[in-house]
Amino acid sequence: MEVVIVPGSKQIGKLAADAIEALLRRKPQAVLGLATGSSPLPIYDELAARHERDGLDFSQAHAFALDEYVGLERGHPESYREVIRREFTSRVNITPENVHNPDGSAADIPAACSSYEEAMHALGGVDLQILGVGTDGHIGFNEPGSSLASRTRIKSLIEQTRRDNARFFNSMAEVPHHVVTQGLGTIMEARHVMLVATGAQKAQAVRDFVEGPVSAICPASVLQFHPHATVLLDEAAASSLKLADFYRHTYDNKPGWQGL
C-alpha cells in the first residue's frame, strides 16, 4: 500500500488524474471504476478540465460505478447513476452506453448483481478503481462485517453512514436503508485501486485501515492485501497515522518514472 500525503484536495485531484491520464494514453479502452460522494470530486473536476483543455479522450473507455441506493426511483437526483453522470461522465466524451451502474431498482436484484459482475468480466475487469472511505471504514457500501471475499450484492447501511449521507437529501428519513454494492472481493480484482480521503473526520478510519489489523470490522483494511493500492490523503486525514513521516519521506524520494 502506497500512502501519499499532500496539502489538499487540489493536489490529490492532479495526482489521481495523472495516473488516469497515463492509463488512458497507454490503454484507450481502459475500464475505470467510479466512486460517488465528495472524495472523488477533485479528480472528476481535474479530468473534466483536461478533457476540455487538452482533449483527454474517454471515447473508448468504459466505467463501472461502485454502488447504488435501493428504492430511489430512476432519475432521482441523488441516485448514484445520476450523481456519476452529473459530476463526471456528462463532462467528458465517454459513450453513455459504456457507463455501467448497479441496478438498485431491478425486480430481481441478485440476478442484476450477477449480470453486473459478468459485464465487468466481459470487459476484462477494472483497470483503475477510484475509492473513498466511510467514517466507519467502508469502501463501496461494504459496511463493517462485510465478507472480505464478497461480490456485488444488496447490503444494509449502518445508521452512521445514513447520517453522513443525509447532507445530500432533504432529511435523514429520505436516505435509503439498502444499497447494491460491489463486494470487497470484486473491488480487490481491480488492477489498481486508488483511495482518496480528506478531512479530519476520516483520520481514524484511515489510521484503522492503513495501520490496523486486516479485519471485516474495518472493510477498507482488506486493501492491505492488494498488490497495487494507492492511498491519497490530505494532511488532516493523515493526522493520526503513526508512520506519516516515513510515508512522506518515501514519496519524496520516489523515482519519478515510477508514477503511482
Question: Residue 32 CB, nearest distance to ligand F6R (Å)?
Answer: 13
Grid-cell match 519524496, residue found: 252
For ligand F6R, the closer of residues 60 and 135 by Cβ is 135
For ligand F6R, the closer of residues 127 and 136 by Cβ is 136
Query: Which class for 220: exposed (0-12), middle (13-18), buried (19 or more C-beta within 10 A)?
Result: buried
Q: Which long-range contacts (CB under 8 A, 24 or more apart) does 248-252 make?
A: 248/5, 250/2, 251/2, 251/3, 251/4, 251/5
136 noted as active-site residue: yes
For ligand F6R, the closer of residues 200 and 243 by Cβ is 200
Q: Which of 67, 87, 117, 234 is catalytic?
A: 67
Q: Which of 62, 76, 100, 138 is catalytic?
A: 138
Residues that bind ligand F6R (CB under 6 A): 35-39, 66-67, 132-134, 138-140
What are the angstrom distances between the C-alpha of 229 and each of 53, 122, 155?
Answer: 29, 23, 24
C-alpha cell at 183: 463486494
Give me the helices (H) in 79-228, please: 80-87, 109-122, 159-165, 184-188, 203-211
Q: Which of 87, 117, 136, 189 is catalytic?
A: 136
Q: Which of 117, 143, 189, 208 is catalytic?
A: 143
- Facing residues of 192 across strands? 128
What is the rounded distance in angstroms from the CA atom of residue 131 to the CA atom of residue 90? 20
57 noted as active-site residue: no
Question: Residue 226 CB, nearest distance to ligand F6R (Å)?
Answer: 16
Give the closest residue to 156 by CA, choosing from 165, 167, 143, 145. 143
For ligand F6R, the closer of residues 13 and 37 by Cβ is 37
143 noted as active-site residue: yes
18 noted as active-site residue: no
What is the rounded distance in angstroms from the CA atom of residue 98 to the CA atom of residue 33? 12
Question: Residue 19 CB, nearest distance to ligand F6R (Å)?
Answer: 18
Residue nearest ligand F6R by beta-carbon distance: 132
What is the rounded distance in angstroms from the CA atom of residue 13 to the CA atom of residue 43? 4
Question: Residue 141 CB, nearest distance to ligand F6R (Å)?
Answer: 6
For ligand F6R, the closer of residues 14 and 27 by Cβ is 14
Question: Residue 95 CB, nearest distance to ligand F6R (Å)?
Answer: 21
Catalytic site residues? 67, 136, 138, 143
